[in-house]
């Protein structure tokens, strides 16, 4: 019986898409609530946050456009949506709530975009696509959490907007390791290039 990778290969999935300059970096929802296993965290999210420190430092040195996202709902919950119906505790992530703040290790610098969002995708209902296009970004390196949720949704939308998504595999995390692995596999077959951090930085070092 054929294994799943054999089926994908035979059907023509998984072709390599080489990174192409200019580059940008998107860091998705690395906020305190997703770093806390008692709130929305767990799995390999903490190691992914630590690995992203080096990725962020390199992006700053190379002067790439850098965007961060936070999940932020109104204090009165008036902007509650279907996502909030599926995950009601997400409404606790409000503007001033400690759990909605970006983790101390990855605090944005001046000139870096910080987007508030209420949907899984960093692109849906935000200015991200236009902001990246204005800066000429061709390949978008992506870090953040969760791999099976907001990362995947953002990867699909990045591709749909004409960017080349490059998922930095050791800089994305999920509370569920099986979900993390399954979604990395699927994104690699259909939507994105996947590389660990050091390989990604080497592949993009010329620009």
Task: Inform me whether the pLDDT recorded for 207 exceeds 90.
Answer: no
* Mean pLDDT on 33-47: 97
Residue 79 lies in a domain: no
Other Cβ atoms closer than 10 A to 5: 13
Residue 83 lies in a domain: no
Tally the domains of the chain.
Answer: 1
Task: Inform me whether the pLDDT recorded for 89 exceeds 50.
Answer: yes
- The domain containing residue 65 runs over which residues? 20-71+99-203
Residue 45 tokens read as: 């999210």
Residue 91 lies in a domain: no
Residue 163 lies in a domain: yes
Other Cβ atoms closer than 10 A to 118: 19
Measure the CA–CA gap between 105 and 175, rounded to whole angstroms: 19
Task: Inform me whether the pLDDT recorded for 113 exceeds 60.
Answer: yes
pLDDT at residue 86 in the model: 97
Measure the CA–CA gap between 21 and 137, rounded to whole angstroms: 7
Residue 12 lies in a domain: no
Measure the CA–CA gap between 164 and 195, rounded to whole angstroms: 13
pLDDT at residue 3 in the model: 61
Give the catalytic positions in this structure. 150
Over the stretch 177-200, which tens digit does the pLDDT of each residue have? 999 999 999 999 999 999 999 999
The CATH number of the domain where 156 resides is what? 3.40.50.850
Strands of 139-145's sheet, edge to edge?
Answer: 113-117, 66-71, 23-28, 139-145, 164-173, 193-195
Give the residue from 141, 155, 145 showing the smallest Cα distance to 179: 145
Residue 151 tokens read as: 């990362």
Residue 120 lies in a domain: yes
Residue 48 lies in a domain: yes
Residue 191 lies in a domain: yes
pLDDT at residue 4 in the model: 74
């Amino acid at each position: 019986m054929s294994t799943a990778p054999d089926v994908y290969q035979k059907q023509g999935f998984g072709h390599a898409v080489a990174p192409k300059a200019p580059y940008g970096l998107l860091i998705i929802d690395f906020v305190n609530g997703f770093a806390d296993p008692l709130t929305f965290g767990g799995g390999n999210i903490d190691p992914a946050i630590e690995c992203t420190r080096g990725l962020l430092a390199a992006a700053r040195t190379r002067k790439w456009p850098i965007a961060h996202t936070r999940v932020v709902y109104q204090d009165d919950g008036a902007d509650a949506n279907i996502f909030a119906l599926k995950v009601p505790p997400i409404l606790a992530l409000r503007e001033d709530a400690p759990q909605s703040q970006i983790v101390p290790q990855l605090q944005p610098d001046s000139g870096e975009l910080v987007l508030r969002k209420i949907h899984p995708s960093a692109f849906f209902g935000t200015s991200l696509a236009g902001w990246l296009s204005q800066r000429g970004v061709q390949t978008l390196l992506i870090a953040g959490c969760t791999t099976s949720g907001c990362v995947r949704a953002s990867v699909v939308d990045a591709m749909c907007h004409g960017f080349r998504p490059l998922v930095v595999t050791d800089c994305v995390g999920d509370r569920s390791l099986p979900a993390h692995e399954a979604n990395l596999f699927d994104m690699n077959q259909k939507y994105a290039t996947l590389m660990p951090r050091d390989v990604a930085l080497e592949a993009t070092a010329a620009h």
